[in-house]
Structure 1
Amino acid sequence: MELKTLLEKARTIAVLGAHKDPSRPAFYVPDYLFRAGYRILPVNPRFAGEELFGERVLGHLSELKEPVDILDVFRPGHALPHHLPEILALRPGLVWLQVGIRNPEVEEALLGAGIPLVVDRCLMVEHKRLLGRLRALP
């Protein structure tokens, strides 16, 4: 499926490594997506139980109890193998590794499991480029 179509159809984005500091990409990217109308499910054990983007921050991906259209990852590449079992169990519609995040072994495992993957690109930048606007979702 084309990336623009995936972004148009997506409703729920889990953000692994979500942060509450407004100066960090792990805050302002999901904040932009929240304002664009997506439901943002923040995941970060450091802030578990707090609220971000109108949702309670979860400590681990395994705590997500609903389907996720996009998993937006803000974790360093060397930390990705630790998250791989939870990502595979979650089976998001798309895994998005933000700018600078790479791990060839994890990327291969995700693709081998049939999970679409975007690597080393910013979801906010691509959303603006492909959709050109903030939009309200139905």
Structure 2
Amino acid sequence: MQDILKSMKNIAVVGFSPNDTKASNQVGCYLIDMGFNVFPIYPKSGEIKGRKIYQSIDEISEKIDTIVMFRKAEFATELAKKAINLGVKNLWLQLGIVNDEAKQIAQDAGLNFIQDACIMIEHKRFKNDKSK
């Protein structure tokens, strides 16, 4: 987990809601506030915190190193395959999202894979551990 947190720079947040009461918005905005280059992925167009919303990860022209997913677990299998095709290093399924098929696909291809964990909580913990 620490390897992922140390290596993250360009992060696609799949399911990044513009609704600031949603966990995906709170986590995505936290990542932006921490200085990461965050690409919101959401079905509706617009902006979140000054960042263009992309409707698909395929629309992003920059190299993504990490995908954080806030969608239903069944979408993770296809996302794992897409991550491999895009050369993404890290795939993170947020708290409450578990897909063992996606895990197997990602790990077989050499991706770092986390599921059922909140990237914001883990980043805060990692940041606090580093400062000790």
Fold match (TM-score > 0.5): yes
Task: Indicate the residue corresponding to 1:40 in structure 2.
Answer: 38
Cα separation, 2, equivalents of 1:80 and 1:17: 12
Q: Which amino acid aligns with 1:114?
A: G
The one of 63, 66, 70 equivalent to 2:62 is 66
SS at match of 1:75: coil
The one of 4, 8, 11 equivalent to 1:10 is 8
Cα separation, 2, equivalents of 1:95 and 1:81: 11
Q: Which amino acid aligns with 2:13?
A: V
Two-structure CA RMSD over aligned residues (Å): 1.7
Task: Indicate the residue corresponding to 1:75 in structure 2.
Answer: 71
Q: Is the 8 A contact 2:95 2:117 kept in 1?
A: yes
Alignment map for 1:106-125 (pairs within 5 Å): 106-125=102-121
Q: Is the 8 A contact 1:70 1:93 kept in 2?
A: yes
Runs of 4+ aligned structure 1 residues displaced above 6 Å come to none
Task: Indicate the residue corresponding to 2:24 in structure 1.
Answer: 26
Superposed displacement of residue 111, structure 1: 0.8
Q: Which amino acid aligns with 1:56?
A: K
Q: Is the 8 A contact 1:69 1:94 kept in 2?
A: yes
Cα separation, 2, equivalents of 1:104 and 1:30: 24
Task: Indicate the residue corresponding to 1:98 in structure 2.
Answer: 94
Report % sequence identity. Answer: 27
Cα separation, 2, equivalents of 1:6 and 1:76: 22
Deviations 1:41-67 (A, max 9, x none): 01112x23x111322111111112221
Q: TM-score, normalised by structure 1?
A: 0.85
